[in-house]
Amino acid sequence: MLLAHSVILSSAATVPSTFAGVADALTVLVLLSEFAMLHAQLSRSQIRLYAFQSLVVTALAVYVAAERHIPGLYAIAGITLVLKVVVIPAIVLTLLRDARVELVASHRLGVATMVLIAIAVSVFGIFTAGSITVQSRSLPSGALGLAIAAVLVSFLLIVLRSDVVSQAVGFFSLENAVSLTSLVVAAGLPLIVEVAFFFDLLVAVVVFGVLMRVHHSHHDTLSTRQLDRLRG
């Protein structure tokens, strides 16, 4: 009873602003879609989840732009929408259609184990970031920790799934999580720098696409399990 009382008191002491609330909610959505990608069976649904995740990031960019009066961010939101919600998923889906692969059995562990590990990793990320964050008006309470959790789960996606699509989508969503951090923490980042980041991402996606195609043409599968020749 006493405990509940003190919790209510302490939460009343730091009422989150609307901005922090919306930012935290959208960040949680990004983290959840990361979890969904981790256990999705079909490569196609992973890509759709990635498109959804990008849409959430776009929404957050628009919201931050409106709330903080940073017009440059509308441009960023526009580019995110075009590139990450439409173009990149379309490229990877085309690739999949050409590869004529529906389902790649790529789970290294059972779904339940993977999700448990992902939860443990997220908790680690949230608490680590929480312990080192300095208090600041511009930083919503939990967003940095949640974004770092999303980064860590995207690593799991790369590590625990053994097919090229999961691993590429893992990298793309890693980049989403980092963009999210930049929106929350560094919204004023100069436009030219943001545009350079996007350009780089696009080039990286093209390279991933080329290498996925090359991989498929050599091994006739999207699985990465035969990639074990080079060692030592």
Partner 1 sequence: MGWDLVVILVVPGVVGVACWWLPPRVGRPLSIASGLLTFVLALLLVPARTPSALHGWLRADSLSVVFVVAVGFLYLATMVFAVGYLHPSGGPTHQARYLRRAFAGLNVFCWAMAVAPLVSSLALLWVAIEITTVVSALLVAIDDTDGATEAAWKYVLIASMGLGISLLATIVVYYAGAVTIGHDYDLFYPTLLAAASRFPPQVVRLAFVLAVLGFGTKVGLVPVHTWLPDAHSEAPTPVSALLSGALLAVSFYAVLRYFQVAVRTLGPTFPRDVLLAFGLASLGLAALYLASQRDLKRLLAYSSIEHMGILAIGMSFAAPIAVVGVLLQVLAHAAAKGTAFFGAGSVVRKYGTKDMRHIRGGIGALPWSGPMLVLAVLALSGMPPFGIFRSEFLIVEGGLSDPHDAVVAVLVVLVVLAFLGLSWFSTKTMQTPTPKSVVRGETSKWIVGSMVIGVVALTVLGVHPPGQLSDLLTRAAAELRAPR
Residues 46-75, interacting with partner 1 (CB under 8 A): none
Interface pattern 143-182 for partner 1 (x via CB under 8 A)? -----x--x--xx--x-----x--x---x--xx--x--xx
Residues 183-222, interacting with partner 1 (CB under 8 A): 185-190, 193, 196-197, 199-200, 203-204, 206-208, 210-211, 214-215, 218-219
Residues 117-136, interacting with partner 1 (CB under 8 A): 132-134, 136
**Based on C-alpha coordinates, what's the Rg of the chain?**
19
Cβ–Cβ under 8 Å, residues 153 and 118: yes
Query: Which of helix, strand or coil describes residue 25?
Result: helix
The amino acid that residue 230 corresponds to is L
Question: Per residue in 64-78, is it b (16+ CB within 10 Å) or e — as a string?
Answer: bbeeeebebbeebbe
Indicate the helix (H) or strand (E) that contains 156: helix 143-160
Indicate the helix (H) or strand (E) that contains 136: none
- Residues forming contacts to partner 1 in the complex (CB under 8 A) are 132-134, 136, 138-139, 148, 151, 154-155, 158, 164, 167, 171, 174-175, 178, 181-182, 185-190, 193, 196-197, 199-200, 203-204, 206-208, 210-211, 214-215, 218-219, 224, 227, 229-230, 232
